[in-house]
Each structure stands twice: as structure tokens, then as C-alpha cells.
Amino acid sequence: MNAITEVKTDFNAQIIEAFNSRHATKIFDPERKVSDADFETILEAARLSPTSFGHEPFRILMIQSPDKRELFREFSWGANGMMNGSTGQLGTASHFGIILAATGELMRAGSDYLQDHYRQVKQLPEEVIEIFNGAYGKFQAEDHKITSDREITDWSGKQAYIVLANMMTAGALMGIDSCPIEGFDMERTTQTLAEHFGVDTAKWKPAVMFAFGHRAKDPEFPKTRRTMQDTVAWF
């Protein structure tokens, strides 16, 4: 085994070890904070994540103020410790946030928002923008048939989950714990974002919450998953 192979094998082992160690952390150690530099790396992993057509139909809202976090407690059972009698992720996480998904107002083919994205972010020439408009329009109307605001917002939410997965993987590789959180009332969360955070909820809707920090204790039960044979089929 040469040096390059040894390094690759070691890196493979590190990846699997990180995934085995990672778990949906319900209670964090409130005294152990994730450093600014480390969390910037996690956010950079989010920013660099792939999204369908490169449209980046997400935004990340970081909620660090304890008072602001408390606004969600009553209707965010997945983050409030309801299942374990603690203050949950809202009260103990080093970093807590919500990923917002772009609605149909922004992500409908031909929208002004997308034209600006093509020009300002992707820096595409006009002839390529025309191709993008046609391809994305066909994708929405014919290939996947996602034309209603709800369907487009759900599609944006799929992209948000790619982003969160990359954030959690980056964290795991750095020894930082995390938890994806879907246990919240969508309507009340949307209303709170509009009233207290200035979010234009006609354009952006909550997709998923997340928490990062360092676990207060190891999980009580071992990680369980289906076997590889039951998970993957080769043809």
C-alpha cells in the first residue's frame, strides 16, 4: 500500500466514523459553544451546496438571541424539549436557525428574480439565459409538473434539505453535533417570521429548522440502519 492509498483509506475511515458518531442531538451542552470560525465553515458548506439549476432557492436565518428563540417554543415541539423534559435545542444549542425556501413568486420560470439571478449571480450571457428559461420552464411545466405555489415551494424545500445535509456533514467531520428539526407548526412559524423577523413570507417560507453545538451526553441507544443489501440495489 503506497502513501496515497494509505491517506485515502484513512480519509474514508474518517468519513464513516463521522457518520457513525453523528446523531440527532436533542440536548446540547450550553457551556460549549461552536467557534465563529468553525460555524463560518459550516455556513460556507451551505453556501457552496448544489441546488437544482443552480437557482439557490434558500436563505438561512440564524437565531441566536434567547428572546427570539423563545418566540418559537410554544409551537416547535421538535426543538423545545417536549419529548425529554428539557429546554431542548432552543435553550441549549450553540447555533440555531431556520432554512427558508423560495416560493413560486420567486422560482416560477421567467420570474424577474430568476432573471436577476442569472445575470448578477450566475453572470450568464443573454443567449444562455434564454436557454435556461426554456429548459427550466419545460422542467416545471412538463417534466416534473410543479406549477402551483405549493409545489414550487416544496421543490425549493428539497433544495434546502441538500443544504442542511451538507451543513450537518461538515459539522460531523469537525466533531460538531447537530439536529435537523421538522417538529413545528408551519402556519404559526410562518406568521412569527413575518411579524418578528421581517421575512416576506409571500416570497420565503420555512422549510426546516436546525441546531448545532456539542452534545450534553452520548445517545442512549446504538445507531441502527437497514443493511446495505436492503438499502442499495445494483443492476
Q: What is the pLDDT of residues 47-69, one digit of tens each?
A: 999 999 999 999 999 999 999 99
Mean pLDDT of the chain: 94
- Tell me if 162 sits within 8 A of 46, measured CB to CB: no
- The CA distance from 109 to 117, in Å, is 12
Cell (9 digits) for 15 = 468519513
- Please check whether residue 62 is in contact with residue 103, taking contact to mean a CB–CB distance below 8 angstroms: no
Model-wide pTM > 0.85: yes
Q: Which residue has the cell 426554456?
A: 134
Are 135 and 110 a contacting pair, CB within 8 Å? Answer: no
Give me the pLDDT at residue 179, please: 97
* Three cell numbers written together for 207: 422549510
What percent of the chain lies above the pLDDT cut of 90? Answer: 90
Name 223's Cβ contacts closer than 8 Å, sequence gap at least 6.
20, 23
* Mean pLDDT computed over 131-147: 97
pLDDT, one tens digit per residue, over 73-124 is 999 999 987 655 568 999 999 999 999 999 999 999 999 999 999 999 999 9
Instruction: Write the CA distances from 231 to 20, 79, 214, 225, integer angstroms.
Output: 17, 29, 30, 9
Cell numbers for 89, please give them: 435545542
Q: How far apart are CA 75 and CA 166, in angstroms?
A: 27
What is the DSSP code (8-state) at residue 97?
Answer: E
The three-class DSSP label of residue 50 is coil
Cβ contact 83:22 at 8 Å: no
